[in-house]
A = this chain, B = another copy of it.
Amino acid sequence: MKSNAPLSDLAARAAAFTAERDWAQFHDPKSLILALTGEVGELAELFQWAAPSGEGVSTTRAGEEMADVLIYLLHLANALDLDLGAAVTAKMDANDARFAVTDVRSTAPRKA
């Protein structure tokens, strides 16, 4: 699989991983969100005492934790039968409209 694989291919690979191991029985939404929270916690720990720039934190280690976060997002999308790529594109469309460049340029974001 190429590194620029679409999200739908990554979601399919996550689904196959789960099916092969008969792990769908563990993949209810609440359990998966707790697992996602665990990975976000590991990502936070990597940066907690770093300078704001993150200098000194291993990009490789950060990538591993970020990958874990995304993998659980994919498992959750599969559990909910939800198209994550479509959800992201829809949210990006909404953010483009909500945060008009002329309104917010150079001012701190609120949520985007």
Which A residues are within 8 Å of any B CB, using their own CB? 1-10, 13-14, 17, 20-23, 25-26, 28-31, 33-45, 47-50, 52-54, 57, 59, 62-64, 66-71, 73, 76-77, 79-92, 95-96, 99, 101, 104-106, 108-112
Contact = CB atoms under 8 A, between A and B. Distances in A.
Contact of A71 (B29, B41, B80, B112): B112
B26 A108 contact: yes
A109 to B, nearest CB: 6
Number of this chain's copies in the assembly equals: 4
30 contacts: A3-B85, A7-B10, A10-B88, A21-B104, A23-B106, A26-B109, A29-B53, A29-B57, A29-B62, A31-B49, A33-B34, A33-B40, A34-B34, A34-B37, A34-B45, A34-B48, A35-B48, A37-B44, A38-B41, A38-B44, A40-B40, A49-B109, A49-B110, A54-B79, A63-B87, A66-B84, A67-B84, A68-B111, A70-B70, A71-B91
